[in-house]
Amino acid sequence: MEATTRQFTGNARQALKNDNLRAALDKLSHGFPYKRLEAAARLPEFEALRDQSRDIKAHVLENLDFYLQQFESKVIEQGGQVHWAKDAAEARDIILAICQEAGAETVTKSKSMIGEEIAINGHLEANGVRPVETDLGEYIIQLRKEPPSHLIAPAIHLSMDQVADTFKDKHREFAADRPLDQPRELLEEARTMLRREFLAADVGLTGANLLIAETGSIALVTNEGNADLTLTLPNTHIAIASIEKAVPTLEDATTILRVLARSATGQELSVYTTFVSGPKRPDDMDGPENFHVVLLDNGRTQMLGSEFHDMLRCIRCGACLNSCPVYGAIGGHAYGWVYSGPMGSVLMPGILGLEQTGDLPNASTLCGTCESVCPMRIPLPAMLRRWREQQHARRLTSTKSRMMLKLWAMLARRPGLYRAVMGLGVGFMRALAGGRGSLKSLPFAGGWTAVRDLPAPEGKTFTALWKERRK
Amino acid sequence: MSAGPAKKTRSVSSRDQVLSAIRGALGREGADGQNRPDLMARLDNPVPNRVPDRGRLDGPARIDLFQAEAERVSADVARVAGLDAVPGAIAAYLGENGLPTALKVTPDAAIGDVPWAQQAALSVEFGATDGSDPVGVTGAYLGVAETGTVVLLSGETRPNSLNYLPDTHVVVIRADQIIGAYEEVWAQLRHDGGGLPRIVNWITGPSRSADIEQTLMLGAHGPRNLFIVIVGADDGKGIVMADDGTIVTADEGTRVGDAHG
Amino acid sequence: MIQQAPHVGLFATCLVDLMRPTVGFAAAKLLEDAGCRVDVPMDQTCCGQPAYNSGDTGEARAIAKHVIAAFEGFDYVVAPSGSCAGTLRVHYPQLLKDDAAWAARAEALAQKTHELFSFLTDVLNWMGGEARYDATATYHDSCSGLRELGIKQQPRTLLAGVEGLELKESREAEACCGFGGLFCVKYPDISERIVDVKTADLEATGADTLLGGDLGCLMNIAGRLKRQGSAVKVRHAAEVLAGMTGEVPPLGEGKNDGAED
Ligand code: SF4
């Protein structure tokens, strides 16, 4: 998908005007974060498990080559194939080639952020293969040709009415006047449509939440069961995963799974947690004959060992989005590409380049909520600051703001001058306010007074008054 | 993949490029990433990390927890004294919920001794499903008390599709298959030997989605109903099954165990 | 270790210095009431956050060194702000960790730097003096104080001793107010939406007053409340605890309010 990260400010402005989105985001911020807290409260070991999960992933990253090769050899041992892709284009080609070899007309897909990252759907379509998203939310946005707006709730920005309109528009075989004003009716219709696709698909394409080196298994979690149908019914199963998804053992996977759903939705565990190892065994009653894993780099090895190394611990739970005040204000689309929220603002400059994503590291209050909820204890605010440092160092910030900052910093290190200048400024503001307690507007403070009054200063600075009164 | 030798070569070299990029980033250029006895040992002797205390309970309490957790996620649970009471429990459940009574049952040894013929109300077929069966019945490998999760394996008598396609999924599990924590699943599978089957399912409640206006709805793509029949659990707690198939609560006094003396 | 009255360097913070000196005097009074000797080094300006959060680590380091030099002679450094105290305590050591000449000095300063309320309760074990303030108030937990320094209960403990004051908790007490330093002027419309969540939440408590411990957040919230025409009063909790609410009107209020611009 075309990135619109450069238009962040405009995107955000649009988003702020969208009432449907606002209602959805209000619901979100009153939902998942509280459920997460309840789930955490129910599990006394939750914090300890977060520590261990962080340590497991940190250990994997330090030995990523080893674990990926172990994983690979176990997959091959079980009759599966492993493909390595340096970038999105290569991953797309690999997947298309597998589909073509399978003679695929239809590919069912279970939600995969990597699939979004490499924009696989467009590529398949362009080459005559029809991809069908099967996660309900993904299905809806696929019909609408929209990108996901949340890691785990891709259609969260839509109202029921919007979904109903989409279904009426795209599902022409049903009576035009059928009732579609209940979520249940919409779900049933999607279920009917997708059931056919599941049964008819030639290839199933899934992501992978974890790659388990010990056994060459992938772990997948869903609530709908769509991944399981995707990986059971067609004759070929392709799993696509970025390289940092590796974990050593089944036990390590288990520990991470204990924090994943709790952090994401406040569930103890997702409904379906499935460990897949290789293709159908000779005696199995069902399952695909072919099993492929595509391992994607796409910038990960550049983050590895860099100051953004820790970001590779991310398990895409979405907790940082759910509790982020900025995400809660503007939703996912405003960020302009596949990812969003704090994790997206750290990740996307690494994938798309800082030139394309200048606003993302800055559009954060650095309130720290994301880090406090991140199951992998990723220091997201510190990494946003790292990007700001790079912007500053590479002179990607505006000349005006750099000059203002320089001037201010120069003053801040010269207390005498600072006090003289600030004293004047404060006196000026006080005079401007007159007897009123706040200012409605102020030259050079348009950013502040655009949306709020500026409480007027008392009149003299504390340091000046202290000198008068105490010395 | 037979996409031609050119493609294959490129793939191999991408592999090397990614691996060497990793080694470069980690400052281990030229190192043999695989000669790592310490890491091999970690994989060869997997050790559980922190296991929550929640599931560490004695028999009856563990089964109670399993049931309570399963019910918390909207699974329905019944307990019966023996395999012979399973058809009655299923018939009663389907009847009470107005569900079709045609079962597709895995030809699995685990539930092979269930006397299906006893229940005239049920029509029973064995095998895989093409998607047209309303009710699937499968035997569990284990149940995990900590979250009320049933563990199901694929195999020569256990079609994976039967766990997902029917609207109603019935899982039959013996009380002594209910363990405390997920880690015990791995321990048991390793003990059984032969590596993992293609599919290890952990199923925790019926299928659901909240993708439309964050409204939670059951039955997204997988089963709308998950009915777990615990066999041999009879400690007088929870919902139990009488011989005639009616479901009663323990404090009403009628329990399968009593009936069986 | 310290036999006589601890010698405290009061780091007023740039916002208190410029906008609300009463908070500085209130902090000094509280510290003195709690038995400290208080000085206000005239070399102080700002902790450097605007530079630090803008990615200008060079200037941030220079300012950090300036602050360290100005304050390292005291037994303690106390700031009526979790945000600025957090910069000294948490970020200076990180900024200067690779600077041989300064790392230890930054670490030493960090060790003795405290936010006002946590210093009074946690370090001095002082549980408040006599103060009266008739209001129903709710408390806003500022982000840095809460998440970097663990300040939550301390101000509430102190405020519990204020006569006439009733404290009501709001649901979103811990939510960011959308200030974020330069964020609020760079992205005013996003900031507006965030602060509106805050103002709606505090209005929902029915409280007539909002208290907090960070002037940046309080100015943002007060400014937004004023713009909305709300009657809720906003004050730094130090003013209330020091009994100095008579010396200055609530934030953003003045004797000629209501007059046209
Ligand atoms: S950064 Fe942390 S909280 Fe955010 S999605 Fe990744 S793991 Fe979850």
Looking at the DSSP bridge assignments, the partners of residue B226 are B169
- Residues A263, A195 share a domain: yes
* Residue A392 dihedral angles phi and psi, to the nearest 5°: -65, -45
Residues 6+ apart with CB under 8 A from A23: A159
Structure tokens at C98: 């690779």
Q: Is residue A12 part of a domain?
A: no
- Residues A224, A320 share a domain: no
- Residues A385, A462 share a domain: no
Which alpha helices (DSSP H) does chain C contain, by range? 14-19, 21-33, 49-53, 57-71, 82-86, 92-95, 103-112, 116-118, 143, 149, 153-159, 183-186, 188-204, 215-228, 237-241
Give, in order, the Cα–Cα distances in Å from A37 to each of A41, A70, A262, C14.
6, 37, 8, 36
Mean pLDDT of chain C: 94
What residue type is B231 in one-letter code? V
Asked whether A271 and A222 are in contact (CB, 8 A), the reply is: yes
- Residues A273, A384 share a domain: no
- pLDDT over 50 (residue B36): yes
Nearest to A389 by CA among B260, C51, B80, B69: C51
Ligand 1: centre distance to CA A192 (Å): 34
Q: ∠ CA A35-A36-A37 to the nearest 5 degrees?
A: 90
- Residues A309, A244 share a domain: no
Mean pLDDT of chain B: 84
Q: Which residues of A touch B130 (CB under 8 A)?
A: 199
Tell me: the pLDDT tens digits for C95-110? 999 999 999 999 999 9
- Sketch out chain B's domains with CATH numbers: 56-260 (3.40.50.10420)
Give, in order, the Cα–Cα distances in Å from A193 to each of A171, A271, C244.
8, 22, 69
> Does B28 sit within 8 Å of A65, measured CB to CB?
yes
Q: Is residue A224 part of a domain?
A: yes
Which letter does DSSP use for residue A245 in this model? G
Q: Is residue A6 part of a domain?
A: no
- Residues A309, A288 share a domain: no
Q: Is residue A11 part of a domain?
A: no
- Sketch out chain C's domains with CATH numbers: 7-122 (no CATH), 128-241 (3.40.50.11810)
Distance of CA A126 to the CA centre of its chain: 26
Produce one character per residue of C153-187: b if its CB has 16 or more CB atoms within 10 Å, e if not. ebbbebbeebeebebbebebbbbbbbbbbbbbbbb
A79: domain CATH number is 3.40.50.10420
Find the domain containing A321 and state its range: 301-393
A372: domain CATH number is 1.10.1060.10
What residue type is B189 in one-letter code? L
Question: What pLDDT is recorded for position A273?
Answer: 97
Question: What pLDDT is recorded for position B137?
Answer: 95
> Does A447 sit within 8 Å of C147, measured CB to CB?
no
Q: Along the 471 residues of chain A, how does pLDDT read in single tens digits? A: 688 999 999 999 999 999 999 999 999 999 999 999 999 999 999 999 999 999 999 999 999 999 999 999 999 999 999 999 999 999 999 999 999 999 999 999 999 999 999 999 999 999 999 999 999 999 999 999 999 999 999 999 999 999 999 999 999 999 888 999 899 999 999 999 999 999 999 999 999 999 999 999 999 999 999 999 999 999 999 999 999 999 999 999 999 999 999 999 999 999 999 999 999 999 999 999 999 999 999 999 999 999 999 999 999 999 999 999 999 999 999 999 999 999 999 999 999 999 999 999 999 999 999 999 999 999 999 999 999 999 999 999 888 888 988 999 989 999 999 999 998 999 999 889 888 899 988 877 888 998 999 999 998 999 999 999 886
Q: Is residue A183 part of a domain?
A: yes
Q: Which residues of A touch C62 (CB under 8 A)?
A: 409, 413
Question: What pLDDT is recorded for position A471?
Answer: 60
Tell me: the pLDDT tens digits for C33-72? 999 999 999 999 999 999 999 999 999 999 999 999 999 9
> Does A278 sit within 8 Å of B198, measured CB to CB?
yes
> How many other CB atoms are found less than 10 A from the CB of residue B69?
24
Q: Give contacts of A 362-401 with C, CB under 8 A.
A: 362-369, 371-372, 385, 387-393, 397, 401
β-sheet with B199-203: strand ranges across: A246-247, A210-212, A217-222, A272-276, B199-203, B149-153, B142-144, B178-179
Structure tokens at B253: 């006094």
Q: Is residue A400 part of a domain?
A: no
Q: Give contacts of A 400-459 with C, CB under 8 A.
A: 401, 405-406, 408-409, 411-413, 415, 418-419, 422, 425-426, 433-438, 440-441, 445, 447-448, 450-458
Asked whether A296 and A108 are in contact (CB, 8 A), the reply is: no
Q: Is A68 touching B (CB cutoff 8 A)?
A: yes
Of A34-43, A52-61, B5-14, B205-214, the range with the lowest mean pLDDT is B5-14
- Residues A285, A235 share a domain: yes
Q: Give the end of a domain, one of A251, A278, A298.
A: A298
List chains touching A (3+ CB pairs under 8 A): B, C
Nearest to C155 by CA among C207, C123, C118: C118
> Does B211 sit within 8 Å of A63, measured CB to CB?
no
* Residue A83 dihedral angles phi and psi, to the nearest 5°: -120, 140
- pLDDT over 50 (residue C167): yes
Question: What pLDDT is recorded for position B4?
Answer: 40
CA-nearest residue for atom 3, ligand 1, is A374
Q: Which residues of A touch B214 (CB under 8 A)?
A: 24, 27-28, 31, 153, 156
Question: What pLDDT is recorded for position C260?
Answer: 46
Residues 6+ apart with CB under 8 A from A253: A210, A212, A219, A247, A275
Burial of C63 (0-12, 13-18, 19+ CB in 10 A): buried
- Residues A363, A460 share a domain: no
DSSP A33-78: HHHHHHHHHH-TTHHHHHHHHHHHHHHHHHTHHHHHHHHHHHHHHT
Q: Which one is predicted more confidently, B261 or B215?
A: B215
Chain A nearest-CA residue for C47 = A412
Question: What pLDDT is recorded for position B252?
Answer: 42
Query: How many domains does chain A fold into?
Result: 3
In A114-251 the beta strands, taken as DSSP E runs, fall at: 130-133, 203-206, 210-212, 217-222, 236-242, 246-247
| pLDDT band, very low/low/confident/very high, at B160 (cuts 50, 70, 90) | very high
- pLDDT over 90 (residue B255): no
- Residues A248, A223 share a domain: yes
Q: Is residue A18 part of a domain?
A: no
Q: Is A136 touching B (CB cutoff 8 A)?
A: yes
> Does A462 sit within 8 Å of C40, measured CB to CB?
yes
C-interface mutation test, from A18, A462, A463, most C Cβ less than 10 A away:
A462
What residue type is A89 in one-letter code? A
Chain C nearest-CA residue for A459 = C19
Q: Is residue A311 part of a domain?
A: yes
Q: ∠ CA B145-B62-A45 to the nearest 5 degrees?
A: 60
* Prediction pTM value: 0.92
- pLDDT over 80 (residue B10): no
The ipTM is: 0.94
Structure tokens at C103: 């790392």
Looking at the DSSP bridge assignments, the partners of residue A195 are none
Q: Give the end of a domain, one of A268, A298, A328.
A: A298
The binding-site residues of ligand 1, defined as CB within 6 angstroms of any ligand atom, are: A 151, 314-320, 343, 373-376, 378, 380
- Residues A136, A159 share a domain: yes
Tell me: the pLDDT tens digits for C197-225? 999 999 999 999 999 999 999 999 999 99
Q: Percent of chain C, pLDDT > 70?
A: 97
Q: Give the end of a domain, one of A263, A298, A333.
A: A298
CA distance linking residue C261 with residue A434, whole number of Å: 10
- Residues A107, A90 share a domain: yes
- Residues A465, A343 share a domain: no
